[in-house]
Amino acid sequence: GENVEQHPSTLSVQEGDSAVIKCTYSDSASNYFPWYKQELGKGPQLIIDIRSNVGEKKDQRIAVTLNKTAKHFSLHITETQPEDSAVYFCAASMRPGTASKLTFGTGTRLQVTL
């Protein structure tokens, strides 16, 4: 089955700096890669996703890049703000368009300090 590894497990940055979180996946058949943000005591919320036919996607301060050859994808947050502090999860999925399983990474706790 699919295996997703995520690094780092914790990340501390100063407000205004950039943050990068990296994930690798094992199954070359995976073709959908979402990123979720989870605040304390709440359910995860989708912040951005990318399909395998796209190399990069950007939404305001958040961007995701995908390298299918190397089987890794990354989340980039620019101009970080205190409200970006949360746990971020990457995930990978096969078989889009069905109730396919999302395999999650182990999460990155991002702390943005003033």
Residues that bind other proteins (CB under 8 A): 1, 4, 6, 9, 31-32, 34, 36, 41-46, 49, 51, 89, 93, 96-102, 104-107
Residue 107 C-beta: closest distance to other proteins, Å: 6
Residue closer to other proteins by CB (options 37, 80) is 37
Q: How far apart are CA 75 and CA 89, in angstroms?
A: 10
Residue closer to other proteins by CB (options 36, 73) is 36
Q: How far apart are CA 79 and CA 37, in angstroms?
A: 17
Output the CA–CA distances (angstroms, integers) from residue 69 to 21, 62, 84, in the order listed: 18, 23, 30
Question: Is 32 strand, coil or helix?
Answer: strand
Residue 82 C-beta: closest distance to other proteins, Å: 22
Residue closer to other proteins by CB (options 13, 49) is 49
At 104, list the tokens: 């999650």
| Cis amide linkage into residue 96, ω under 30° from 0 | no
Residue 105 C-beta: closest distance to other proteins, Å: 5
